[in-house]
Amino acid sequence: MSNRTTLTEFFLLGFSDVWELQILDFVVFLVIYLAALMENLLIFMAIAFDHHLHTPMYFFLMNLSVLDLGSIFVIGPKSMANSLMNTKSISYVGCVAQVFFLLFLLGADFSLLTIMAYDRYVTICQPLRYEKIMNSRACLKMAAGAWISGILYSVLHTRNTFALMFCGGNMLDQFFCEVPQLLKLACSDSYLSEVGVLAFGVCLALGCFVFIIVSYVQILKSVLRIPSEQGRHKAFSTCLPHLIVVSLFVCTGAFAYLKPTSTSPSALDLVVAVLYSILPPIMNPIIYSMRNKEMKAALRRLTGCR
C-alpha cells in the first residue's frame, strides 16, 4: 500500500479476534443501538407533539436528539455487521463517508451545546428580554448555523484527511474510521497539513468551551442571588444536565484527539472512542429527562403511562 490511490479498503481491528467475543460485541452494540434509537425517538416525538414543550430550550434539545440518532447510525450498523459476519473490512468510500458524517454530527452537536448554554444564560441572567432575544426566527437561525458549521468543518477535515498519502498500511486499531488512527498511516511529508486542520478544530472547540464556561459563571452568579431556595433549585436543575453532557463530550473528545498516538493497539483508545461516539447518544436523553418534570410529563402523555 504505497499511497492512497492503491487503497480500496481499510481493516478495522476492533475489539477482539475471538468469535465468541465478537458475538458479545454484536449483542452489546445491538442493545446500545436500540436503546439510543428508542430514547432519542421518544424525546423527539414528545417535543414535536406536545405544545407545552414548544420553547427554544426544547427546540434545541429536539435538534440534539436528531444529531444523536445520526451519530448512532453512522457507527453502529457497520460495527455490528463486522462482528456478526466475522469480518473487519470497510471500503475506502465507506471510510470516507463514516469520517465525514461522524465529524459533521459531532461538530454540529458541539455547536448546538454551545447555543444551549447561551439559551440557559439568557433564561436566567436576562429573563425579561428572553422572548425578544430567543424568538422563533433567532432560534431557527442558530440551529441552522449549528448544522452548517458542522458540515463546513467536516468537509474541510475529511478532504484534508483523505488527501494524505497513506504509507503505513491499511490497518486501523479501532472499530470505526477515526481520524487519529488514519493519521498514524499517513506519510510524514503530508502529515503537517492535517495537523494544522486538527489544531484549527481544537481552537474552535476550545473557543466554544470557553464561551460555555463563561456563560455558566454568569449563570452561577445570578442563581446565587435568587432569594428563594426553590428558585435556586429550579435554576440548577435546568443547567446541571447540560453541564454534565458538555463535560462528558469535551473531556472524552479532547483526550481522543489530543493525546499522542501510540504505535501499538491500546484498549484505552477503544474505551475513549466509545465514550465520545457511542455513550452520548444513549446518555443525553436520560440526563436531560431525569430531573426535568416537563419532559417527564410529556413522555407520560406520549406513552400513556402514569
Give CA–CA dist 90/72, Å, rounded.
Answer: 17
Give CA–CA dist 284/298, Å, rounded.
Answer: 17
Contacts with 114 (C-beta within 8 Å, 6 or more apart), sequence order: 208, 211, 212
* pLDDT for the residue 4: 44
Domain count, the chain: 1
* pLDDT for the residue 191: 57
The domain that contains 127 carries what CATH number? Answer: 1.20.1070.10
* Arithmetic mean of pLDDT, 258-279: 69
Check whether 142 has a pLDDT greater than 90. Answer: yes
Check whether 244 has a pLDDT greater than 80. Answer: no
* pLDDT for the residue 161: 82
* Arithmetic mean of pLDDT, 162-190: 78
Check whether 229 has a pLDDT greater than 50. Answer: yes
Domain enclosing residue 177, as ranges: 4-303
Q: Please state the φ and ψ torsions of residue 3, each to the nearest 5 degrees.
A: -150, 180
* pLDDT for the residue 2: 44
* pLDDT for the residue 238: 65
| pLDDT tens digits, 44-89 | 888 888 888 888 888 998 999 999 888 888 888 888 888 788 788 8
